[in-house]
Chain A
Amino acid sequence: MASLVSVGRPAGHVEGPSKVTGQARYTADIRLPGLLYGKCLRSPFPHARIVSIDTAQAKALAGVHAVITGAELPDRRIGRFFLDKPVLARDVVRFAGEKVVAVAAESMDIAEEALTRIAVEYEALPAVFDPVEAMQGNAPRVHTDTSAYTHPPVPDFVHPGDDRLYPDIPNVVSQVFYTHGDVEAGFSQATREFTHTFTIPPVHQGYIEPHASVVQIEPDGKVNLWISNKTPFVARSQFAAALDVTEDRVCVNTAPIGGDFGGKGSLMDSVVCYHLAAAAGRPVKMVMTYTEELSAGNPRHPAVITLRTGVDASGRIVARKAKLVFSCGAYSAFTPLHTVHGSVHAAGPYRMPNVEIEVFRVYTNTVPAGHMRAPGAPQIVFGVESHMDLIAQELGLDPLEFRLRNTLVEGDAAPLGEKWKKIRCKETLEAAAREAEWDTEKAAHIGRGIGMYDREPGAFGPSSATLSIAADATLTLMTGAADTGTGSYTVLQQVVAEELQIPLESVRVVQGSTDSAQWEVGAGGSRLTHMAGQATLAAVQKLKAGLTAFAARHMESPPEQVAYRAGEFVNTNGQRLALPRLMAALADREELPLRYTGEYVAEDPVEVTSFCAQIAEVAVDPATGQVTLKKLTTAHDVGTILNPLTHQGQVEGGAIQGVGHALTEHLIVQDGAVTNVHLGDYKLPTSMDIPELKTVLGESNAGPAPYAGKAIGEHSNVAVPAAVANAVFDAVGVRLMDLPVTAEKVYAALREKNSATRND
Chain B
Amino acid sequence: MKSIRLRVNGQAVERDIPDNALLIDLLRNGLDLTGTKEGCSVGVCGACTVLLDGQPVSSCLTLAVTADGCAVTTIEGLSEGDRLHPLQKAFIDYGGFQCGICTPGQIMSAKALLDENPHPSKDEIQNWMMGNLCRCTGYYKIIESIQAVADGRVTP
Contacts and interface: CB of A to CB of B under 8 A. Distances in A.
Interface of A: 10, 12-13, 15-17, 19-26, 28-29, 31, 109, 205-210, 256-261, 287, 289-291, 484-487, 645-646, 648-649, 652-657, 678-680, 684-688, 690, 693
The number of chain B residues touching the other chain, given as a range, is 35 or more
Contacts of A208: 37, 39-40, 45, 47, 99, 101-102, 133-135
Contact of B84 (A21, A209, A290): A21
Which of B84, B107, B133 has most A Cβ within 10 Å? B133
A173 B99 CA distance: 34
A237 to B, nearest CB: 24
Contacts of A260: 99
Contacts of B89: 20
Contacts of B94: 12, 645
Q: Majority SS of interface residues in chain B?
A: loop
Q: Majority SS of interface residues in chain A?
A: loop
Contacts of A26: 34, 37, 101
Given A207-B99, A208-B102, A656-B139, A17 B84 contact: yes
A687 B95 contact: no
24 contacts: A12-B94, A13-B95, A20-B92, A20-B100, A22-B75, A29-B34, A31-B32, A206-B135, A207-B99, A208-B39, A208-B47, A208-B134, A258-B37, A290-B41, A485-B100, A648-B141, A652-B138, A652-B140, A656-B137, A679-B39, A679-B40, A679-B133, A684-B133, A690-B139
B36 interface: yes
Question: 7 nearest interchain CB pairs?
Answer: A22-B35, A485-B99, A258-B101, A19-B100, A656-B138, A485-B98, A16-B92
Contact of B99 (A209, A291, A684): A209
B135 A259 contact: yes
Which of B94, B132, B138 has most A Cβ within 10 Å? B138
Contact of B40 (A15, A290, A657): A290
B132 A687 contact: yes
B150 interface: no
A649 B141 contact: yes
A21 B79 contact: yes
B13 interface: no
Interface in B73-108: 74-76, 78-79, 84, 87-89, 91-95, 97-104, 107
A687 B143 contact: yes
Interface in B108-156: 125-127, 129-143
Contacts, number: 180
B34 A22 contact: yes
B31 to A, nearest CB: 12
Given A257-B99, A687-B126, A12 B92 contact: yes
Given A16-B91, A209-B101, A687 B35 contact: no
A20 B98 CA distance: 10
A16 B129 CA distance: 21
A686 B47 CA distance: 13
A290 B35 CA distance: 19
Contact of B76 (A21, A258, A287, A652): A21
A12 B141 CA distance: 12
Contacts of A287: 38
Contact of B136 (A23, A109, A289, A649): A649
B28 interface: yes
A639 B144 CA distance: 26
B95 to A, nearest CB: 5
A109 B137 CA distance: 34
